[in-house]
Structure formats: C-alpha cells, structure tokens
Amino acid sequence: MQSLEADQSDDDGGADDDTADETKDNRNIAQDGLAQQLNEQELLQLKADLPGSEYVRRVAANNAAFSLKTKFAKEKYLARKQKKYVRLVALRYASLH
C-alpha cells in the first residue's frame, strides 16, 4: 500500500519529520465530520469514476485534517479507507483435492 505521506515527503526534498511527529498528537483535531472538503455528491461521483486506490488518495487529499495528523494516524486512516474501498478478488479453480 502506497501512502500519501510518502508522496508528500518527496515534495519537501525528502525531509524526515519523525522528530516533529514525536511531539505532535491528534488531540486538537476536531472530529466533527467537517474536515472533508468534498460534498456527498462529489464523493459518489469520484467513487463511480475512479478505481479504489485513486479514490482513497483523492479523499485523503481533500481532507483538511489529514495534514494535521501524526504519521501513525495517517497510515491508519489510509489503511481503513483502503480496506473499505479497495476490492481485491482472488479467483480460484475448483478442484477435487
């Protein structure tokens, strides 16, 4: 799973923000559901038009609180969204053994 965090670290020259992350926490991030900048209609349209992994990336990119989260919280958020929206199918042949 490719994380959005890895994409963003490339933009700032690959600076390692682990030390800043140690002092940062998620206490001050509002959990009121207003952080998502896309409305319901836009989300439904994206879900219909994009594959699951791209949809997750766009939802995270349009979440105002995402950049405020710790590295662990970002990975957890992306994993939860991947599990919900990315479908993996394994086809297996029937066998007698």
Q: Over the stretch 21-36, which tens digit does the pLDDT of each residue have?
A: 566 777 777 777 777 8
Burial of 52 (0-12, 13-18, 19+ CB in 10 A): middle
Question: Which pLDDT score is estimated for 25?
Answer: 78
In a domain, residue 93? The reply is no
In a domain, residue 12? The reply is yes
In a domain, residue 47? The reply is yes
In a domain, residue 55? The reply is yes
Question: Which pLDDT score is estimated for 16?
Answer: 52
In a domain, residue 97? The reply is no
In a domain, residue 30? The reply is yes
In a domain, residue 11? The reply is yes
Question: Which pLDDT score is estimated for 21?
Answer: 57
Q: How distant, in Å, are the alpha carbons of 16, 23, 69, 71 from that of 19?
A: 8, 7, 14, 11
Record the pTM.
0.61
Question: Which pLDDT score is estimated for 79?
Answer: 92
- The boundaries of the domain holding residue 56 are 4-85
Number of domains in the chain: 1
% of the chain exceeding 90 in pLDDT: 3
User: What confidence category does residue 20 fall into, taking pLDDT thresholds of 50, 70 and 90?
Assistant: low
